[in-house]
Each structure stands twice: as C-alpha cells, then as structure tokens.
Amino acid sequence: MSRTRISLLAVMLVALLAVSFAGVSAQDEPLRISLVVNGVLGDKSFFDSAQRGMDMAMDEYDIEVNTIELGIDPQNWESGLADAMSDSESYDVLIAGTFQMIDFLASNSHKYPDKTFVFFDAPMPYDNAELCVEGCANVYSITYKQNEGSFLAGVYAAAMSSQEIEGMNPEVVLGALGGQDIPVINDFIVGYEQGACLVSADAQVLVQYAGGWNDPAKGKEIALAMYEQNADIVFQIAGGTGVGVFEAAEEQGHFAIGVDSDQASIILDTDPEQAVRILTSMQKNVDASLFRAVGLILDGELPVGTVENLGLDTNGVSLSINDIYTEATPQNVQDLVAAATEAVVAGDITVNTVFADEATAAKVGQGCAAMPATEFDASEYLSAGM
C-alpha cells in the first residue's frame, strides 16, 4: 500500500473519530429547554401541570429548564413568545402551548431550523402552507381528548348525584363553568353532558362561561348561583377563575370537580376542608405528556412535523383517584367509572366532540335525547348499591 493511500486513510479515520467524539460531546451537554407560559404559574391547574412535567423531566434526565411566564395580559403574549424564540442561544427545545399562540409559532418556527418546538393543547396547522411555512417540520404538537376525560367526569358526577349523600339533591342537576366559550372548553362540556346522560336521561347540566381565567371572585359568584339552582356538583373548567368554585362548594356544603391537575391533592395540606369538597378532577395530563416528549427527544424519536392526540388509552387524560375520591365514592360508583373507562378505550362508547365535521360535531346543551345510543347500561352498577 502506498504512503499516499495510508495517509488518506489516516485522515479519514481522524475525521470519523472527530465526528464520533463531537456526537458524544453533544450528548454530554444538558438539553436546554425553554418553557413559555402564556399566563402565570400558581393556577394549581393547567400551567402548574406543565411545570410539573418539566420538574419530573429534570429529576429523570440531564436537562436544564428555563420557565418564562408571559403574564395574564394577552397583548404581551405574542411579543413575549417572539423574544423567547429569538433568544436562540439559550435553548435547544422550546415548549409553548394553548390555541392563542398557534399562528405566531407556526409562522415563525422555520426561522430556527436547528431548534425543536413542542406545542401542547392545540394542533399545528401543518396543512396550511400560509401559516406553517415549510410545513412546521420542526414542530411536534400535542392535543388531548378532553372530551373523553370529561365524559368520565359526567358519569361520575351524575352517579354521585344519584346517591343518598349529604349535600346531594334528589334530582340530577350538575354545573359546568367554562373560562371562555371556545371550542376546546366546549369539548370538555359536551363530553361531560354525554356522561351525565349515560347515567340519567333526566340529567340537567347548567352551563355558564366566566369570560376569563384569573377571576376567582367571578367563578365563586357563578358557582353560588348554580348551587342555588340545585346543582350538586360544579365542574370547573376555568383555570384560576375556577378556584372560586371550590370556595363556593365549601360554603354551601356541595361539591366540585377540578380540572387539569389533581386539584384536591394540591390543596389538601393547606385547606383540607375545601379539598374534601373536590371529589375528583378531570386531569389533562400535560405533565405526563411533556415528560414523555422530553424522553422521545432524548431518544431521537420525537415525531416532529406531526400531532398526537392523547386520550384515556395513552394517559393523556384521566380522573383523579386519590384518598378523597375513594373515601367519598361508593364502591358501585367506582365500579361504574372503571367500566365506563374500559368501554371508551375499547371503542364500545364513542364520546361526543366539537372537533368533527359540521354534520357530526356535538354542540353544548343538546340534551339527553340527542345523545348517541349505546349498549352500555349504567343502571346495573347503580342498582348494585341500593
């Protein structure tokens, strides 16, 4: 072999080793993540769940997380996200969420092709070439089947309302407080209504929207009015505004269902009397989904350029099963909720959603007579407790 050929092979070997060591070096550096919150932490619900996911990931992986709170004024959100994205030397992955931020992230992600973006609680418009420049190829988005989790909340609330429990009225009257009249919130509500109707064809669900996410006094006022109208349980789907529902439930001796996080467990130590009024929460498991996304990134398996819709079968949503739930809930109701969960996962029950074509999309307030037929019989579980 000639010296020239040996020299060339040596150069190639050195180059390969350099690439190899560069890869090892890159892996040895902590993954830097910016979590951008279009709101504030401390809601004991949605955004706190996102932060909890980051805390879980920091405990498990070699990562660094910088959380950026944009505040409650929507006028500051787009400029705040723009600043976070443009500070490209500070992050490898940027995580943001909620439908209000879709358009800006979609139209700007292509400017940072060497970055990965994770967007939660709304899908990127991948097929919209005007918004998703270059197809948002570096954006992975997560949506949640909040209608499925809320269906279980409706089953549970109506079943509990049917029990002889102090604080429950004879009729099945429930409440649902939404932060705003928007599709994602209405998706919660139509699932909740369907679940209630599965238990009782006479179920009545009172629905009202607070018009915002950080007004506990308004939430309390609406909940008090619902309890005055004989609602036994009010499902809060209003972020910080919904904290007022818990105050009203405690004052009136009625009950509530929390949202997004296990809200009873969060306040159990600081306010146990209020916590026991939160019988369960419909968890949109943002924490678990973001923790999962970080793991996929580190394994090189994150499906960027696509959206994943996470439901009961992937732990995207769930009901909180804690000590308060098990102590307050008769066994037959627990069995009913478990069976309804299995039926949804198996496809035996199709849950209503607003995210469908116009002909099949559900609408809030349709009433029990308009609910889809099913062979699932809730009465056999309720009769077992009599």
Unique residue bearing structure tokens 């092709």 = 113
Quote the pLDDT of residue 89.
Answer: 97
Quote the pLDDT of residue 383.
Answer: 82
Share of the chain above pLDDT 70, in %: 92
Digit-coded pLDDT (tens) for 327-342: 999 999 999 999 999 9
pTM (predicted TM-score): 0.84
Q: How far apart are CA 175 and CA 189, in angstroms?
A: 10
Q: How far apart are CA 343 and CA 130, in angstroms?
A: 40
Q: What are phi and psi of 12, to 5 degrees?
A: -65, -40
Section 125-147 average pLDDT: 96
Unique residue bearing structure tokens 């139509």 = 190
- Residues of the chain within CATH 3.40.50.2300 domain(s) are 29-144, 146-284+321-384
CATH superfamily of the domain spanning 29-144: Response regulator (3.40.50.2300)
Q: How far apart are CA 379 and CA 258, in angstroms?
A: 25
Domain formed by 146-284+321-384, architecture = 3-Layer(aba) Sandwich (3.40)
Quote the pLDDT of residue 45.
Answer: 83
Helix and strand numbers, DSSP H then E, in the chain: 14, 12
Section 96-122 average pLDDT: 96
